[in-house]
Amino acid sequence: MSVRNLEPKAMWNHFADLNAVPRPSKKEERVIAFMMEFGKSLQLETLQDAIGNVIIKKPASKGMENRTTVILQSHLDMVHQKNSDTVFDFDQQGIEMVIDGDWVKAKGTTLGADNGIGVASIMALLASTDIEHPSLEAMFTIDEETGMTGAKELDGYNFSGKILLNLDTEDDDELSIGCAGGIDTNTIYSYKQEDIKPQSAVYELSIRGLLGGHSGMDIDKGRGNANKLMNRMIYHLMDTFDFQLISLDGGSLRNAIPRESMAVVAVGSDQKDAFEKVLNDFAAVLKFEYVSIEPHFSFTFSTTQSDAKAVGNDDLKKIIRTLYAVPNGVFRMSPDIAGLVETSSSLARVILKNGSFETQSLQRSSVETTKNDVANAVRNSFELMGCSVTQSGDYPGWQPNPNSAILKIMTDLYRKMYQEEPQVKACHAGLECGILGKHLPGVDMISFGPNIRAAHSPDEKVQISSVQKYWGYLLEVLKEIPLN
């Protein structure tokens, strides 16, 4: 069965059309052109602002002209990640989707349900001829995943709506009214190199199969961070053998928990048997620690060849000890909202080769002062070893408003439709609402969406039955929009 035959067909067909268009962050030219053509083909007012956001406006359906104008918002870009053994060119190929029971996923890559389902939902509403709705202002932002550039540079003068529905939440029983802000910390250090010692055996070490996931939404699930696990292994080896590190490459994206890490190391040939035993023994320790969380965790090693130089011994100690010490994971839970991660840090990327050691990490918090606190902790950890540190991409959180008028409308409607209470929450991800609120003062905002799992990883999937629930709810919400 094709995704295009799923219900609601209009939404799934727009999702399939969207997923045929490559749309990596900072390379959205093709998807911008796609959306511009889409809006113009419907003969709707369609424009692109200076930064690249696309705005499409649709008049109210008959009888809804006196209702408050609604801004519908989703982001055009998607995270591009694939498994290491998947052959796929994100710049040229469309996402290959498959149906697996009640879920839609992709073949070895991210699916793009984050935030493609939201985009496709808005497209279906714009193209509809039989759905009741107030005046709609569709806001398709760019570069959400790598800096929220579209939200930051938005021209608020293009909008008159007083209610904003952000369609970028990943649990269908949840209404989000707040989110974390974030800041990127990037570091670089030039290390002294030395030749690989004579009579050395060179090994490639690989960690694979971790769950990974979104470094905001999944940071509290206890999942393994491939960069930190590989560093533990290297620290243990460094403490046990006369050992050299040649290269290190872990993680991929700043906002994804790293799933894989590869290292190339050298040890005296006369120590091979003992070295391999220590590798196996310590891998068993790591697997035991994560057996209930990371069922597919894999540590492998094999002999290889290398003509590259190794890290000098003094720098090796600095680098590995710093990576061991740098904060990672949950830094503080919210004292005010049960179960909410307030502050966290994720060591997303580690690259060491050819005399250069670089890292990328992302700190998040719903409280500006604790965001700065954990960012300072990370900064100082690296500066102590002599790294040059750059912090950028700072964006604010979204302060919850429990007295929101649209929240009351949607809460009451959810109870009526499903005979249960919705989960009214703030989330630890970085939604665009906090930034958009600065450009759209006084606009009442809320975020919701269908069940999406493992966003930002090749295991990403969206639940078909949940999409149907979410779509039905969205249509009823539009009917309940109050008078101007």
Q: What is the DSSP string of 230-271?
A: HHHHHHHHHHHSSEEEEEEEE---TTB----EEEEEEEEGGG
Q: Is the Cβ–Cβ distance between 381 and 327 less than 8 Å?
A: yes
pLDDT digits (tens, 9 = 90+) for 447-459: 999 999 999 889 9
CA dihedral 244, 250, 254, 255 (to 10 degrees): -140
Comparing CA positions, the residue from 10, 56, 6 lying closest to residue 35 is 56
Q: What is the pTM of this model?
A: 0.75
Alpha helix stretches (DSSP H) within 254-367: 272-289, 313-325
Distance of CA 335 to the CA centre of its chain: 25
Phi-psi category of 5—alpha, beta or left, where left has phi over 0 and alpha has psi -120 to 50?
A: alpha
Question: Candidates 3.30.70.360, 1.10.540.10, 3.40.50.720, 3.30.465.10; correct CATH number of 183-395?
Answer: 3.30.70.360
pLDDT computed for residue 337 by the predictor = 81
CATH architecture type of domain 3-180+397-479: 3-Layer(aba) Sandwich (3.40)
Side-chain-side CA neighbours of 389 within 13 Å: the count stands at 19
Query: How is the chain split into domains, by residue range?
Result: 3-180+397-479, 183-395
Catalytic residue among 28, 77, 168, 172: 77
Q: Is the Cβ–Cβ distance between 329 and 380 less than 8 Å?
A: no
Compute mean pLDDT per 10 residues along the chain, 484 residues long, and list them: 95 98 96 98 98 98 97 96 90 95 96 97 98 98 93 96 97 94 96 96 97 93 97 94 96 93 96 96 96 96 95 97 97 88 97 98 94 97 98 88 94 98 90 92 96 93 98 98 94
77 among known catalytic residues:
yes
CA-CA distance, 246 to 19, in Å (whole number)?
39
85 among known catalytic residues:
no
Catalytic residue among 144, 168, 444, 460: 144
